[in-house]
Amino acid sequence: MMNLYEVARFLEAHDNYDILTHAYPDGDTLGSGFALCLALRQIGKKARVITTGVPTKFAYLQKNIEEEGFTSETVVSVDVAADSLLGSNMDKYIGKVDLCIDHHGSNTFTAKEKFVDKYAAANCEILYKLFLRMHINFTKDIADCLYTGISTDTGCFRYTNTTAETMRVAASLMDFGCNTAYINKAMFETKSKNKIQLERAVYDSMTYCADGRCAIIYTTLDMLKKLNTGDDEMEGLASIPRQIEGVLIGITMREKEGGFFKISVRTNNNINASDFCSQFGGGGHPAAAGCSIEGDLETVKTTLEKAAEKFLS
């Protein structure tokens, strides 16, 4: 395992970077990817971000990043905790990643070198400290990228992973010109009409188990088709079941092509979400984790209900 100083020296010594983000990209993996791309280009390196797509709400992160053509020599992953979390367009990179930078304590990703800080609230918090060691000039674009990752992974600083250090980093990014008002509004206060319809359907899907201590919501491919809703509208749904009074485990099921469900788990009262998801080959953070389970809606839902009842017994 590398230390942060060694990561800085590694990045300065290599070139021609492919930066990998995880599937169904969120603010932290995209913010990390584009911030690192900008930082590497600033010190004269060639770099590009490899992603399965950038949801519309995050388009501002790449507005000043032009495409570069080059032959990849160095592969870096950001905010990717396991090989299975890479997008389908990144299969060729499995086993060929030179450096993994992550903040998931459950990290099992295959990489030649790693830096994992499980105490960082977001991967972008790690990159902030890394850029200080690399003497990167914190431009407004870099600050916007880093703030996006930190704010989204902490629920605008409401989640239990938020630390005093997290707040200090965010304050520093404001000093560097980060447009916090725009980002906070775009991430937390703006919803499309389709998103409102989707949330209504999700609330209607909600069921309880384990004496009301577990709440489960779901989306199916048919639901998304009827509502004309894409993956870019899924952000934030996982927080819904955890908000209910008395719920210790909130589970969100998302049906995906290929006969499986992507599971997101959010917990309260020190219930370990990562331990819960590890039963199904997943992992993450103590209060937020995920996994995938094959099967139809009722089969997967029953499996999760039984697991929740046993976990909370």
Residues of the chain with pLDDT under 50: none
Cα(30)–Cα(169) distance, integer angstroms: 18
Per-residue model confidence as pLDDT tens digits over 67-115: 889 999 999 999 999 998 998 899 999 999 999 999 999 999 999 999 9
Instruction: For the beta carbon of residue 225, count every other beta carbon within 10 angstroms.
Output: 9
**What's the start-to-end Cα distance of the chain, in Å?**
37
- Say which residues have a Cβ less than 8 Å from residue 313's Cβ, sequence separation at least 6: none
CA atoms of 255 and 161, how far apart (whole Å): 28
Q: What is the pLDDT of residue 233?
A: 83
What CATH number should be reported for the domain whose range is 193-311?
3.10.310.30
Distances (CA, A) of 36 to 39, 121, 144, 145, 172: 5, 18, 12, 9, 18
The structure tokens listed for 146 are 């880093």
| Per-residue model confidence (pLDDT) at position 230 | 78
Write out the two tokens for 58: 């995050």
The CA-based dihedral angle spanning residues 156, 86, 33, 250, taken in that order and rounded to the nearest 10 degrees: 0
Of 223, 217, 221, nearest to 205 by C-alpha is 217
Delimit the domains of the chain by residue range.
4-188, 193-311
pLDDT, residue 229, reads 86
Give this prediction's pTM: 0.88
Give pLDDT, residue 231: 73
Going from the C-alpha of 119 to that of each of 4, 122, 146, the distances in angstroms are: 14, 9, 17
Distance CA 220, CA 132 (A): 44
The domain over range 4-188 is classified in CATH as 3.90.1640.10: yes
